[in-house]
Structure 1
């Protein structure tokens, strides 16, 4: 039976952590959302945009190593670490690879862990209608414990305490879930909620500046509900390496525009090259300024698993 990729269930953003016996809390791992589809010992890995990433993570292609079910659909986050902490920049290095030799080298150079938090199907039986508590029990039954590659995300009864703990450790945040919730394919509602510690978002690049013919700063925007690209600030610092900036320089050349893509002209620090808004970055920042731009933005990575159309002001809710 060939398993068709689905759009995963998404949590809504919250500033208030719900409590009560019907809620559990989990660490929000800073990685790439990935569903693993296994049928007849063949595994496919597909991200939330329904892009196939099977070749990028060959260590997950032997399902019997980590799962006792002969067929399954797992939902989780692929995570890479740097200095003992999840690093979005490191996982993007793996996710962006396309050449077989580079992928083989990266398996040992940038190891990943698949942090699994849900199961949608097992042994050809769909379980999305079951309450989360039962799906969690099923995960415990099918994921093999004595291997490091695939780990079950631990659940905690006290969301406030977990949020305090992950804040102290500098992690991304927590996800709160009702134990009676079914899994909503291509759904998003308050039965799953996320509380993030740091302010970050996905933004589209609408312009760049250069230094010595290499891109050194990005003008970033989000789409409004009306479809207009709203300027939210520029960023030139963060996790990008010299190689990243050089590669970005080559990618923007064919995207150059003669007109401003933003709905209003941004304040310019130096000569700016406008580009078609097709490239996406993840950016962290301290807070919003009164003028509606990011204060102290820092680029975490160039991303491929988010489309420009998803870079909307909905992220701010």
Structure 2
């Protein structure tokens, strides 16, 4: 188990209207970064992604983390993030994941310092996966000395609706709810672990589309008059919406380029998205209906 790739336990999507204020549930902040499993034995610390990639060389911060874990041996489940005013910024941690040049990695520890937010522990000197979540969290808090590079995520028992509202007000991704008696099942997506995300709505213009699979390219108009693509939208379409769209789209085709059918920017729609990246693109997007009344905002960004 130690220093080998582990597929972590995964979350199911919860319904935001069904967040349970129940003392049998523990709620954590949902941090927006990369799922990372930290392995430690003595002075050796390695980091693995949820897909099993060893990314240790990308994070010199791991040298400090080893001194903050008060156990000779440990496997800790974390979210790797870059924090800006206490809020995780996905693009900034993704940048850390892309950098390969050694000098740029060192520079990034200053401009994009990584923090590993721990929320579970799989093992110390012995395997802990069969212990209850509430017990594992007690062990986790007892073995980590918080620092700039590693901390334990705050948790609250019950009262999920309150922390959900707090994270919304702070512009965070959302929360995670877990049964306090859940055991840790590797490579398993469990209904005992639920994620609740804050989504937003944007008014956008349809710039083009593809058929296989059916995907809309949506964007916005800049103050220069040009259009900037924001997202490829693959999900959320009803069959009748696709049919109606195709009838309208064939009248405003401007160009067919490989598998992309470009359109006059005249048809607008609403999309749901999780967040905007630093470049303004939308992440985790789904279609929410045509918008025949409102014209998208014009911006300089």
Q: Fold match, TM over 0.5?
A: yes
**CA distance in structure 2 between the aligned counterparts of 1:121 and 1:62, rounded to whole angstroms:** 20
**CA distance in structure 1 between the aligned counterparts of 2:86 and 2:155, rounded to whole angstroms:** 21
Cα deviations by residue, 1:258-295 (Å, 9 ceiling, x for unpaired): xxxxxx998566554559xxxxx98337762337xxx9
**Helix, strand or coil for the counterpart of 2:187?**
coil
Which residue is 2:265 aligned to?
A: none
8 Å contact from structure 2 (residues 5, 53) kept in 1: no
Unpaired runs of at least 5, structure 1: 201-216, 222-227, 238-244, 246-263, 276-280, 297-317
Deviation at 1:180, TM superposition (A): 0.2
**CA distance in structure 1 between the aligned counterparts of 2:107 and 2:154, rounded to whole angstroms:** 30
- Structure 2 counterparts to residues 10-49 of structure 1, below 5 A: 10-15=10-15, 16-49=18-51
Cα deviations by residue, 1:70-95 (Å, 9 ceiling, x for unpaired): 11111010111345531111111111
Change in CA separation of 1:103 and 1:192 when aligned onto 2, cut-off 3 Å? same
Cα deviations by residue, 1:31-70 (Å, 9 ceiling, x for unpaired): 1110111124211111111111111111113444210111
Which residue is 1:196 aligned to?
A: 197
**CA distance in structure 2 between the aligned counterparts of 1:170 and 1:288, rounded to whole angstroms:** 22
Which residue is 1:257 aligned to?
A: none
Change in CA separation of 1:18 and 1:69 when aligned onto 2, cut-off 3 Å? same
**CA distance in structure 2 between the aligned counterparts of 1:287 and 1:182, rounded to whole angstroms:** 33
Which residue is 1:229 aligned to?
A: 213
Which residue is 2:272 aligned to?
A: none
Which residue is 1:70 aligned to?
A: 72
8 Å contact from structure 1 (residues 220, 234) kept in 2: no
Q: CA RMSD in A?
A: 3.4
Change in CA separation of 1:164 and 1:63 when aligned onto 2, cut-off 3 Å? closer
State yes or no: 1:103 paired with 2:105. yes
Deviation at 1:112, TM superposition (A): 1.5
TM-score, with length taken from structure 2:
0.70
8 Å contact from structure 1 (residues 7, 185) kept in 2: yes
**CA distance in structure 2 between the aligned counterparts of 1:58 and 1:136, rounded to whole angstroms:** 26
Which residue is 1:159 aligned to?
A: 160
**CA distance in structure 1 between the aligned counterparts of 2:210 and 2:7, rounded to whole angstroms:** 27
State yes or no: 1:283 paired with 2:267. no
- Structure 2 counterparts to residues 77-226 of structure 1, below 5 A: 77-82=79-84, 84-123=86-125, 125-145=126-146, 147-157=147-157, 158-198=159-199
TM-score, with length taken from structure 1:
0.67
